[in-house]
Amino acid sequence: MNQSTHRSPVYARGGIVAASQPLAVSAGIEILTKGGSAGDAAIATSAVLAVVEPGASHLGGDAFVISHNSARKKNLAFNGSGEAPHSASADQFKDEIDHHGYKSATVPGLVSTWFEIHKEFGLLSMDQILAPAIDYARNGFAANTGFVKRIAGHLKMFPDTQVFQSLGIDTNLKIGDLVIQSDLADSLEAIAEQGQEAFYQGEIARKLVEASDGWFSLRDLAEHRTRVLPPLSVKYRDYMIHGQPPPSQGMILLEELLIAEGFDLANISAADRIHLMVEAKKIAFADRYQLLGDPEHIDINLDELFSAASINKRRSQIDLAKANLKEPSISSEGSDTTYFLVADRDGYALSWIQSVFHGFGASWVIPGTGILLNNRLTGFSLDPKSPNFIAPGKRPAHTLNAWSATRADGSLAFMGGTPGANIQVQSNFQLIVNAIDLKMNPQENAEAPRWQHLNKAGGSSLDERYEGVLQIENRVEKEIQQSLKEKGHSVEELSAYGHGSAVQLLEVLPNGTYIAGSDPRCEGHAAGI
């Protein structure tokens, strides 16, 4: 399928980086040109994103990564989600978990993920890798449009917030003004010099414990670890799709694909294809609500979920002629997140997503560190019957997920991802179908019109229902929209590029050439060497 695009795909042989912020891409490329690995460049990109996009991700947040080792044809899943503090329990809250402040946070997992990635892929020293982020924090960077808009948006929602003062950021910032974050620079330097102990056992940990009045303990920080696991993998067409194990919702992306594989998506009408994919999404989300939680605290039988019998049963629930509006409610989460990917000259590649959950996370900064804390604790349920019920040391269900696809010979074919909370697994579903079934190149795929099935306007973000609205970018033909309405979908138009995603995509040709695409819906950028 050919379509016009706003920009050309990026082709490269020596390495490639695609991210939502050009300065982060430049940092990754700089590390690659200095002889760094994909892992080194990914850590550099991640750290710079925390400096230049603090509303979306930060050192006080989480990360999930899918990696590919081309030499060994090996894929890994890095789960950098944090645990609930040992003081956290349902009886600490009344009707809902705090949305802001330190009582809304889990133990941060991003920094530990850096060091696990470095252990697996690192070639350069951490002081070399973190140098670009330290420089941008210490000496400043020019605020771009997205940076200024995020600040204004957060202030509009929470005019009394002190988060920007704590970060050392001027709330009257204009586009092009210099942003300096000295406390954050000091923290990054300490981590570069002392390792992850500076964050989890040193001065940063002590400041967090003291400022949180003991809500966090030194034990909480010291016991945290990033889990390194085999990814969840399923066969879709001629490819193996690799995704995030629980507590990530990546499992339902794979379920969506397994359900969809029973249909010839490439040769049916666009309306039927969207309809089938929306119906598969509904089924998978219902399973998320019923099953998803921390596998170290509950049993999740994914072999049973992914079995042919289970998938056939779920597929049989789809009516080609009409939308299903009868299923019970399913949970939902909002978030602010950033996704990027990196590949190097040796064929190593990482698909990486990181977040502080809602915009500016807990809206609370560890005093004197410049480190913004996540509000991921709000991802737990207070319902004792839920598999995602809050408990000390437990990790909440996560929307964060990244994916990759390999060929039958084990070589890497595709990587991709996007921010977007519940939109993530819906967008990733579309990206994989577009790449494999519809043969779009990464830039065509990144720009292609997208849909999202979410709760009706004005409804609770925690109560997404089957009868929700199907929002579609208005570049989709009116005839297709009308056909979907006739099937029973409540269709609502978005602006031409109004879908809430920021996609980055990679394709690897059999000859080893990289092709990257970046989403014009954000200030994204792709570059190669």
Question: Which of the following is catalytic: 113, 226, 337, 406?
Answer: 337
Residue where the block lists tokens 């670890």: 225
In angstroms, the Cα distances linking 67 to 44, 402, 489 are 16, 10, 37
Tell me the backbone φ, ψ of residue 126, rounded to 5 degrees: -65, -30
Whole-number Å distance between alpha carbons of 378 and 375? 6
Tokens matching residue 3: 């379509």
Q: Write the single-letter amino acid at 50.
A: A
Secondary structure class of 347 (helix, strand, coil): coil
Can you state the angle between helices 250-260 and 308-315, rounded to 10 degrees?
A: 70
Give the β-pairing of 365-366 and 371-372.
Answer: antiparallel
The full 3-state SS of 400-439, as one line of letters, equals: CCCEEEECCCCCEEEEEECCCCCHHHHHHHHHHHHHHCCC
Whole-number Å distance between alpha carbons of 389 and 513? 46
Tokens matching residue 167: 């970060």
Q: What angle do CA 101, 156, 93 make, to 5 degrees?
A: 25
Q: Is 337 a catalytic residue?
A: yes
Residue where the block lists tokens 């990486």: 352
What's CA 242's distance to the chain center, in Å? 15
Identify the burial level of 384 via C-beta atoms within 10 angstroms of its C-beta, where 0-12 means exposed, 13-18 middle and 19 or more buried. exposed
Whole-number Å distance between alpha carbons of 361 and 157? 13
Tokens matching residue 243: 């995704």
In angstroms, the Cα distances linking 508 to 36, 76, 289 are 20, 18, 35
Question: Omega into 328 within 30° of 0, i.e. cis?
Answer: no
Whole-number Å distance between alpha carbons of 346 and 524? 25
Identify the burial level of 274 via C-beta atoms within 10 angstroms of its C-beta, where 0-12 means exposed, 13-18 middle and 19 or more buried. buried
Q: Mind telling me the catalytic residues?
A: 337
